[in-house]
Structure 1
């Protein structure tokens, strides 16, 4: 039985998430549902894309990823199913796929399943959940949607580079206040070529000149830079909240000079 994952901005305080899970389990009692995150900032497509891109390849083939962020039911938003790298994505056509894709999708359809009510009010429950069940039972996207090649596109924020610098930005702040940038290890090797470097950001006087391997490599309360498990440069404070204390909220500049 394929895994079904949930990435949403529904939070855990209300009953909305329970309704989505109830819909899946009522139709597929032995479903294996994995919660990725329900703390995505409301309507933050870029944040949802980062999370999905980070975890996508870690799940087995045929996993069904429901992404319900910015999926409110309005007339001008289509709802889509995507077959990508042997996995499924069910979400709204908000530009999310353009932020995660590094190759073309195998198949994209506009979902056209029958729903129980006359008006689509809650897409995650009324559309994505039954679509996920259908796919988990061996169904195919062609049966529940109409093929399409036109999707909303968003421009991802990418670092700018020169001979002696990489200028990036914070793209995600996790629960612990760690500020994750869009500067990855591959880019550092390509531009840095093993040279010494300085890492700077909003707060002056807090530059760093080395990348640590783990948080405990510095004393409690000290700042550090490290490559996180996704291969991105991260600014952190050992058992502290770097985003708040260093002003490193989403969009803040992070620059490496060589």
Structure 2
């Protein structure tokens, strides 16, 4: 199985071209589209979406991710082995979320053109000419070591989240992602709440915690732990990004409501 995650959209045919490049090498490979609607060049959004998806796939899955504002530059093209399978794409930090939860077992720089679509790849479409073909070869069992020179995983580019800090009143984080519904997903892990009563302070508002969107009246702002495991801010039936003017990187504070 092979997954695709890109910022290509679905208008121009680029996604279909990737699939054609894969099918020409591995015609029986099952391809799953994670998303092709990552905002253009938004590595942080790609990082988040891949982190929250990879664990739901069978062992041995190849994840090809192409959000690559540095295409054609001297940034590395890489393939990385993790316990669950392989990651293929540009070394620009988009894999760093996965690698924080599933440490890399090995990595290579993709400099063996035998496994590219052409020895003279386009300087603007490495997804077609390098990443998709390499992913297809991995799906057929080509050893990682055949794809290029070994790369010390410690040298892979990292895109860490801002640290969540804590004081006696609560947890301080930021908005790390905004999904299709306009939900504001924070950097605060739900596992840190420890069954305490809490709310979220964002801008000049304090929002009550809930277990589900429907726990509050239609149109009300709420905070809850999303299916991804992070604390998120939402509007029941609405768009929190629009109504609360939320932005990626904006500060938010989870406050304890059971303080003496």
Post-superposition Cα deviations, 1:217-246, rounded to whole Å, max 9, x if no partner, equal: 222211111111111111111111101101
Distance 1:180 1:75 in 2: 32
Give 5+ residue unaligned stretches, structure 2: none
* Other-structure match for 1:106: 105
Secondary structure (helix, strand or coil) at the match of 1:234 reads strand
Q: How does 1:150-169 map to 2 (within 5 A)?
A: 150-169=155-174
* Other-structure match for 1:257: 255
Q: CA deviation at 1:117?
A: 4.8
Distance 2:236 2:158 in 1: 37
Distance 1:255 1:233 in 2: 11
Secondary structure (helix, strand or coil) at the match of 2:79 reads strand
Q: CA deviation at 1:73?
A: 2.6
Q: Does 1:123 align with 2:123?
A: no
Distance 1:197 1:212 in 2: 9
Q: Which moved more, 1:96-105 or 1:227-236?
A: 96-105
TM-score normalised by length of structure 1: 0.90
Q: Does 1:148 align with 2:146?
A: no
* Other-structure match for 2:15: 17
Distance 1:176 1:153 in 2: 28
Match for residue 86 of structure 1 among 70, 84, 87: 84
Q: 4+ residue runs of structure 1 moved beyond 6 angstroms?
A: none
Distance 1:176 1:39 in 2: 13
Distance 1:252 1:37 in 2: 25
Secondary structure (helix, strand or coil) at the match of 1:105 reads coil
Asked whether the equivalents of residues 121 and 130 of structure 2 are also in contact (C-alpha less than 8 Å), the reply is no
* Other-structure match for 2:136: 133
Q: How does 1:216-227 map to 2 (within 5 A)?
A: 216-227=214-225
Distance 1:240 1:172 in 2: 17
Q: CA deviation at 1:71?
A: 5.3
Distance 1:119 1:38 in 2: 22
Q: Does 1:197 align with 2:195?
A: no
Asked whether the equivalents of residues 167 and 256 of structure 1 are also in contact (C-alpha less than 8 Å), the reply is yes
Q: How many pairs does the alignment contain?
A: 249
Distance 2:103 2:237 in 1: 40
Q: CA deviation at 1:147?
A: 0.6
Q: Which moved more, 1:211-220 or 1:237-246?
A: 211-220
TM-score normalised by length of structure 2: 0.90
Q: CA deviation at 1:156?
A: 2.2
Post-superposition Cα deviations, 1:173-210, rounded to whole Å, max 9, x if no partner, equal: 11111111111112222xxxx443331102x2x3123x
Q: CA deviation at 1:67?
A: 0.7
